[in-house]
Structure 1
Amino acid sequence: MRQKAFISNAKYVLILLFLLSNISAFSQKRKQKNTKSETTKDTTVTKTKGYAELIKKGTFKKGLFNTIQVKTDIYFEIPDSLMGREFLVVNKLSQVPMQVNEAGLNKGMNYENKVITFYKDTIAKKVWVKSYLPKVSSPENDAITESVKNNFSESIIEFFDIEAKNNDSTSVVIKVNKIFDGKQKSFNDILSNIGFGGSVKSDLSYIENVKTFPNNIIVKSQLTTLISEGGPALFVTLGATSNIVLLDKVPMKPRFSDKRIGYFTEKHWYFNDNQHAMVEKELITRWRLEPKKEDEDKYLKGELVEPKKPIVYYIDPSTPKQWRQYIIDGVHDWQAAFEKAGFKNAIIAKEPTEADTDFDVDDVRYSVITYAASPKANAMGPSVVDPRSGEILEADIIWWHNVMTSLHSWMRIQTGPIDPKARGNKFSDEHMGEAIRFVSSHEVGHTFGLKHNMGSSFAFEVDSLRSKDFTEKMGGTAPSIMDYARYNYVAQPEDSITAITPKIGEYDKYAIDWGYRWYPSETEEKEKLNMLIAKHQNDPIYFYGEQQDGGAIIDPRSQSEDLGNDAVKASEYGLKNLKRVVENILTWTYDKDESYYQTGKLYIGTIGQWQLYNRHVLNNIGGVYLNTTVHGDDKASYIPVPAAMQRKATDYLLKNVITIPEWLFFNSILDKTNPLKDSPIGPYEYTPYTLSRELQYGILYDLFRDERLLRMIENELYQRNNSKEKLFTVGNLFGKVHQHVFNGTIQNKSLSILERMTQKNYVDVLIVSTNKLFEKTDSKKSIQFTKTLNMPSLCNHIHEDKMIRNINQSSLKRVTEVTSEKKGELNKILRLLQLKKNTGNQETRNHYADLINRINKALNNSLLTN
């Protein structure tokens, strides 16, 4: 019994020891756990304590991201709720020194945009910033969507250490100096984007100001670089403004482009499981204009309603006061177009008032018509666009002060003969104001998403522009203010025309209706938009002609600065008026005791207008009407310019260019001044013989450009069985020009200086352009002809440098008929000169000997042997 009792007691002891041991272990674990908890708590305390210290030391501002500034350090407090959201970074110039101003860069210009997203990494204690191109879409539940995510992924562009957390750990604080003071290029690569290259001198750069608002943040910086190319080192400091804008979670519903109407676009790729191939579409750029929810039924019944959010433009306070109302009026002139789309009071232009306490020209919340003090004579209307949908978020019209010099030149030369108000060295503010209004309307049109419609002016019969009733009814020189149809140079003094300025026209109203009318469903939208285009597709008033490369015009309907549907007739009327200008240049520019600077400037402008007419006509030769067609519209896509028009155009050039107009180049004005063109070193004088020779050479070179002749050959081959109209062939062109240029030689006459000049130009064009056909295999370089004279231009910006359509007509040119035709013409000229080399006076015989020598040398070249 005692033994049993002992065993039993021992058992209890062991149990007790086991329990005590476990209690000790549990206590130790609990102690360790408490220690760990205290450590975590201490870390949190440190982070929150750091946050409190930052708030205490710095300046705190609430907004999209709360900002904290401690001396020169800038911190963003980013809430967890905004992690993973998409933002648009918009960078603009806000200040420029003279050196940059002279290079054509000015305040208000947008030079870099990108979509970014912030991601919090609690393990690495960092915030990562990623960027991507939002150009690809796929349905959320499709299998291919996983592949889309992996094949079009984001890239890391920046990181920030987490400096602190707010009190409840729902936001993190990061220090952002490096992305705004030039140390890093991730958010703002200003030098690369404006073409300077190099790097920012961070010790000479700093963050100037930070503002935060509910949906965006503005950071202004002064960034300095050192430029040493071509001279001593030069410090250049640029004012830069970076906007970080919160994008909507759900992008605006896009509207897909149609090539038959002119809108700027954003390209987008679409994938889905049911496709046999990816679909590429273009989204037009446009504002989000929608009726208020309570007005949708009224809108759909055809009543005019105010949009949920109107488009508002602010006039830069630095705009001279006398021009502000004209600029505002130019904006408001578009009201009628938006009423066509069902909206009233859709656009507002105003000056900022005291109520606009946060107004900042560089703030993307404000669309501003920025006035730039600069010698540059231009204006342009770019926009900030959400690339996910094409939604225009903000517009930046840049208005250069010296644009008025272009307006003055156009009006004086094009309308001076019919409008006494347009003749002096300075116009009245009222007259200049009306011109400013026209430019305002044109540039605002770009900010609605509209591209240039260079084919609009072709809708009007030339003689209609001489009709007072017609011009007053149509209200302008073309159906679209988005054309470069300037002032009415066709109208003659006896026509008594007063409506001579471009205005918003029927095409503009149609384009706004197509782009901005609201539809409740995608199905209805597509159906109604197609119906709208189909309704107007055969009416030239609604024709859209895309802008082309000015040096390679294919479709002569879509040219810059032209008027009417017959370039020859319009130019002949234009020449009559130019002769009136030349006769009055000395009178119109008279200013007692002043130099002849204004005289020389008006003189060269007149010559430039003459050359403009020449090119309008020239581009009909070998031209092709390019139509944007769709299945079922029964329209031809390619229509050669009628042969009769090509012959007429050739005759015009022979009469007015190949025969140099002495009334233009050799007259009494030269007793006082040569034609003058401004240059960086001051007014540059052109002597009449040299200038006429260069401009004639330019027309001849372009007339016999390979691409033009190849189009004529294509046309001859394609239409060889078409007996309806006699073709105008390359042979016909050479025959006409040869007969005209060598007419005096054929008749054994002594040639004048200008006749000899023309023959030399013609022969040299043939030699140079033929050599150029072989330049890939010829070590010798051919002469490059560059234009030396241009009329003032406007808004030469946005994405329209070259024609969108790419037509290959020039491959393997050296084995085409062009080579044979040019060499054949040189041989024909050589035979004529050898026959006539002893006719005419001594100067003529010397001239023939020179040409014979040149042609022989060219034809004996190993690359040109027959």
Structure 2
Amino acid sequence: MREKAILCNLKVIVALVLFLVGPISVFSQKNKKKENNTEIAKDSTSSKKGKKYNDLVKKGTVKKGLFNIIQVKTDVYFEIQDSLFEREFLVVNKLSQVPFEVNDFGLNKGMNYENKVIRFYKDTVAKKVWVKSYLPKVSSPKEDAITASVKDNFSESIIEVFDIETKNNDSTSIVIKVNKIFDGKQKSFNDVLSNISFGGSVQSNLSYIESLKAFPKNVVVKSQLTTSVSEGGPALSVTLGVTSNIVLLDKVPMKPRFSDNRIGYFTEKHWYFADAQQAMVEKELITRWRLEPKKEDEERYLKGELVEPKKPIVYYIDPSTPKQWRKYIIDGVHDWQVAFEKAGFKNAIIAKEPTAADLDFDIDDVRYSVITYAASQKSNAMGPSVVDPRSGEIIEADIIWWHNVMTSLQSWMRIQTGPIDPKARGNTFSDEHMGEAIRFVSSHEVGHTFGLKHNMGSSFAYDVESLRSKDFTAKMGGTAPSIMDYARYNYVAQPEDNVTAITPKIGEYDKYAIEWGYRWYANNDNERLKLNSLITLHQNDPIYFYGEQQGEVIDPRSQSEDLGNDAVKASEYGLKNLKRVVDNILDWTYDKDQSYYETAKLYIGTIGQWQLYNRHVLNNIGGMYLNVTVHGDNKQSYVPVPAVMQKRAADYLMKNVITIPQWLFFNSILDKTNPLKDSPLGPYEYTPYTLSRELQCGILYDLLSDDRLLRMTENELYQRNETKEKVFTVNELFKKIHQQVFAPTILNKSLTILERMTQKNYVDILIVSTNKIFEKTEPKKTVDLHTLSMPQLCTYMQDGEMIRNINQSSLKRITEVTSDKKGELGKVLQLLKSKKNTGDQSTQNHYTDLIQRIEKALSNTTF
């Protein structure tokens, strides 16, 4: 669950900022005390040459490390050794403190918001140090002629300059004053406000450097930076705590491993130029840790023995994590040991709490990968990494764990497993039951920090009926072959199945992906050939299928929150369990003398789950299986969802959406409460008529979306004669909807309120979506359906994670979509005119209204 937090609305920030900024001092009292790595500098010589240097260090304190840090009162100096000039450094900026209003928008401690590669250059003539930055994404052989052109066309940019204040006594280092890059005066090293989409500028008079640390390969500088916010009212101050790490990168980057689209890793793009080319080569480097056997173990490793890595991957648990959850978070990390053993390493990953031995432990120090616990109302978790862009090497990982993630876990478990698991029914779970859920989220997020992307197609590998098997689920462990899928809990299993393995676990795909990414090969091995052979070995087994995360779902195999290989069957089983939840909501949420808040929250959660099932099914209509293919694998790249599946999906929607389920929207729960969702303005209630109308509209609007209908048209056009496979056409879809929506009209019946609502929704969507093609009206504004769905975690996509884009919607005005939609409007108009005098008065009023709407739309001269 990786994402970048962005502040979308500054208005809320104004309300509570006045209490934020306490007394400001340049350095806290504790920082005035001598630290372990701090010594009072002594004047070692009185030579004229070094007098200024000696005077400087004599007045202040020196912290020795990558750069010696000289602190004289409020002035901060870096002493840079000559050997470090023109070396590559990575600047890593993180948040270390946030005020209430910023927290409320999901921006929290531990978030890495800006990284850049820099070099320092010494200019003895001008007596300055220039700092230049560049994107290390281009390479060429040193001996090739084109390398000169590469250097000129992908040059560095100057981002900062410092005066050389003095040099040390033997002239092997120089000293520069660095206050301006850390106290907010300059944005060159740290542009926090722009990177969090905050805007404005830092007020240097209300900002200061808080603390400084120096270590052999990095320096750590913490600052308090204040900005002024004025959003329709008086200017107020907001102060952010930020930490800047300057990290020395290795002279020789890690050997990169190139990505393969058949397996899911985050990547760094890289361009390669060479004289022998006829075109530039673009490759993507996967992000991964540098995991290698010790020199003395290489032979044993290559023989197939498990060995310990030269440097294991270590995660520290934030000391602010509640004690009862620490064990489960650690277990979630260690669950990956089995996957790294598949890659040949034992004890490759370690999770632990910091101890007294970790004297320098600091969450914001990039030497430590930390699972940071954020006190926040946000219900989420994510696992980003700091990466060396030259090679894809993961340097450090930061898992952000929001306190309220447990609210999402509880909602999932109650709704998805409550019917089969009594432990998942109450308003509060036992620590053990919640702990197991926390363990699952920990494993998922740690998977991201190994470089693994979401594999939304993994759950499609399991037959739906297998998820009802106690033996199968116990053997396979969980709901999908990959914990990197959003295959949450087993909502398919019925009470009589006695299934107990209902929580996602590390699966076979995860082991395979880690082996592919982390198996070590000696330099003389043909790594590319062996990696390709590993994929080829598994390419026909659905357990090892990788399905990309999608925006608009085109491939229904790769969907969020779904289970099994048949969305219709899985959703039908899910509805049976959902009915059981609705029947028991009042009992499960009962708490004497308490309000119906928990009841209302669980109720809206069940409605969100119903809508989730609808979308899983809907995406099969006009769906296309998108296979990542290579020459020689004898696979089709584009395979339409079978027509029979599309028809079954349409029938499901006719039964469960076009016909609003009264058991869900109109039941005894409404005697006590409406469905309720929390909002920034407080609890927000939805009346059942309004909610059912909006959700039905959303499904119908997406069902008749232009892109979906265009895919169906493409499929019909491209039908292969040799396969003789029938396709599901647009006209067949309209016929099904028409017969369902207007069934009581055809039979001359009076319409119920819900039947009139459905007909209005259908006609309105045809009119609005058709006008939209001709840019006559604004796009239909429907309710934000994600706000009513089950809670989602880790919904972001990291830089480098690509969504597959297929252009099917150019020049919609001259496609069959307009003809089909206007044709259906004409059929509806003809039917309504013939039936306008049937039914009761409300029905006739309804028909008159629809006739007028359609006639106005069809007579529009824009058409």
Give the shorter-chain TM-score range: over 0.9
- Which residue type is aligned with residue 104 of structure 1? G
Q: Within 5 Å, give how 1:196-345 maps onto structure 2.
A: 196-345=198-347
**DSSP-derived class of the 2:265 partner:** coil
Decide whether the 8 Å contact of 2:267 with 2:800 is kept in 1: no
Structure 2 residue aligned with 1:193: 195
- Which residue type is aligned with residue 236 of structure 1? V
Structure 1 residue aligned with 2:55: 53
CA distance in 2 between partners of 1:307 and 1:782 (Å): 56
**DSSP-derived class of the 1:64 partner:** coil
Structure 1 residue aligned with 2:569: 569
CA distance in 1 between partners of 2:505 and 2:778 (Å): 48
Decide whether the 8 Å contact of 2:267 with 2:801 is kept in 1: no
Cα distance per residue 1:689-718 (max 9 Å; x no partner): 000000000000000000000000000000
CA distance in 2 between partners of 1:731 and 1:522 (Å): 60
CA distance in 2 between partners of 1:234 and 1:320 (Å): 34
CA distance in 2 between partners of 1:586 and 1:470 (Å): 34
Structure 2 residue aligned with 1:121: 123
Decide whether the 8 Å contact of 2:268 with 2:800 is kept in 1: no
CA distance in 2 between partners of 1:59 and 1:752 (Å): 83
Q: Within 5 Å, give how 1:57-96 maps onto structure 2.
A: 57-96=59-98
| Residue 720 to residue 786, structure 1, CA distance change in 2 (3 Å) | farther
Shift of 1:781: 2.9
Cα distance per residue 1:415-447 (max 9 Å; x no partner): 000000000000000000000000000000000
CA distance in 1 between partners of 2:496 and 2:559 (Å): 28
Cα distance per residue 1:364-400 (max 9 Å; x no partner): 0000000000000000000000000000000000000
**DSSP-derived class of the 2:305 partner:** coil
**Structure 1 portions without partners, runs of 5+:** 1-43
Structure 2 residue aligned with 1:781: 778
Decide whether the 8 Å contact of 1:600 with 1:674 is kept in 2: yes
Shift of 1:720: 5.7
Structure 1 residue aligned with 2:836: 837
Moved more, 640-649 or 854-863: 854-863
**DSSP-derived class of the 2:50 partner:** helix
Decide whether the 8 Å contact of 1:548 with 1:801 is kept in 2: no
TM-score (norm 1): 0.93
Structure 1 residue aligned with 2:594: 594
Structure 2 residue aligned with 1:632: 632
- Which residue type is aligned with residue 650 of structure 1? A
Shift of 1:790: 2.6
Structure 1 residue aligned with 2:377: 375
Cα distance per residue 1:241-285 (max 9 Å; x no partner): 000000000000000000000000000000111000000000000
Shift of 1:589: 0.2
Structure 2 residue aligned with 1:14: none
Decide whether the 8 Å contact of 1:47 with 1:164 is kept in 2: no
CA distance in 2 between partners of 1:259 and 1:223 (Å): 42
Shift of 1:805: 1.7
**DSSP-derived class of the 1:376 partner:** coil
Shift of 1:637: 0.2
Shift of 1:291: 0.3
- Which residue type is aligned with residue 274 of structure 1? A
CA distance in 1 between partners of 2:592 and 2:393 (Å): 55
**DSSP-derived class of the 2:755 partner:** helix
Q: Within 5 Å, give how 1:287-686 maps onto structure 2.
A: 287-521=289-523, 523-549=525-551, 552-686=552-686
Structure 2 residue aligned with 1:687: 687
Structure 1 residue aligned with 2:19: none
Shift of 1:234: 2.4
| Residue 567 to residue 802, structure 1, CA distance change in 2 (3 Å) | farther
Shift of 1:722: 4.9
CA distance in 2 between partners of 1:746 and 1:491 (Å): 40
CA distance in 2 between partners of 1:739 and 1:580 (Å): 31
Decide whether the 8 Å contact of 1:95 with 1:106 is kept in 2: yes
Shift of 1:725: 2.1
Structure 2 residue aligned with 1:848: 847
Structure 1 residue aligned with 2:34: none
Shift of 1:54: 1.0
CA distance in 1 between partners of 2:171 and 2:801 (Å): 54
Shift of 1:46: 5.7
CA distance in 1 between partners of 2:368 and 2:517 (Å): 22
CA distance in 1 between partners of 2:809 and 2:815 (Å): 9
- Which residue type is aligned with residue 93 of structure 1? L
Structure 2 residue aligned with 1:28: none
Percent identical pairs in the alignment equals 82
CA distance in 2 between partners of 1:663 and 1:290 (Å): 58
Cα distance per residue 1:280-334 (max 9 Å; x no partner): 0000000000000000000000000000000000000000000000000000000
Shift of 1:521: 2.6
| Residue 59 to residue 528, structure 1, CA distance change in 2 (3 Å) | same
**DSSP-derived class of the 2:633 partner:** coil
Shift of 1:482: 0.1
CA distance in 2 between partners of 1:92 and 1:797 (Å): 18
| Residue 831 to residue 47, structure 1, CA distance change in 2 (3 Å) | farther
Decide whether the 8 Å contact of 1:548 with 1:802 is kept in 2: no
CA distance in 1 between partners of 2:343 and 2:165 (Å): 52
**DSSP-derived class of the 1:410 partner:** helix
- Which residue type is aligned with residue 602 of structure 2? L
CA distance in 1 between partners of 2:304 and 2:103 (Å): 49
Shift of 1:235: 0.9
**DSSP-derived class of the 1:290 partner:** coil
1:156 aligns with 2:158: yes
Shift of 1:803: 5.3
Shift of 1:786: 3.9
Cα distance per residue 1:505-548 (max 9 Å; x no partner): 00000000000000013652111101000000000000000000
CA distance in 2 between partners of 1:597 and 1:683 (Å): 9
Structure 2 residue aligned with 1:40: none
Shift of 1:232: 3.5
Shift of 1:721: 2.7
| Residue 47 to residue 440, structure 1, CA distance change in 2 (3 Å) | farther
Decide whether the 8 Å contact of 2:271 with 2:280 is kept in 1: yes
Decide whether the 8 Å contact of 2:254 with 2:393 is kept in 1: yes
Shift of 1:806: 1.3
CA distance in 1 between partners of 2:505 and 2:524 (Å): 33
**Structure 2 portions without partners, runs of 5+:** 1-45
Shift of 1:802: 8.0
| Residue 843 to residue 531, structure 1, CA distance change in 2 (3 Å) | same
- Which residue type is aligned with residue 544 of structure 2? Y
Considering only CA atoms, is the larger Rg found in Structure 1 or Structure 2? 1
**DSSP-derived class of the 1:471 partner:** helix
Structure 2 residue aligned with 1:751: 751
Indicate the structure with greater helix content.
1
| Residue 712 to residue 722, structure 1, CA distance change in 2 (3 Å) | farther
CA distance in 2 between partners of 1:801 and 1:300 (Å): 32
**DSSP-derived class of the 1:192 partner:** helix
Decide whether the 8 Å contact of 1:314 with 1:369 is kept in 2: yes
CA distance in 1 between partners of 2:800 and 2:618 (Å): 20
**DSSP-derived class of the 1:603 partner:** helix
Shift of 1:791: 1.8
- Which residue type is aligned with residue 405 of structure 1? T
Decide whether the 8 Å contact of 1:456 with 1:542 is kept in 2: yes
1:699 aligns with 2:699: yes
Decide whether the 8 Å contact of 2:266 with 2:800 is kept in 1: no
**DSSP-derived class of the 1:209 partner:** strand
Structure 2 residue aligned with 1:827: 826
Decide whether the 8 Å contact of 1:127 with 1:160 is kept in 2: yes
| Residue 782 to residue 333, structure 1, CA distance change in 2 (3 Å) | closer
- Which residue type is aligned with residue 766 of structure 1? L
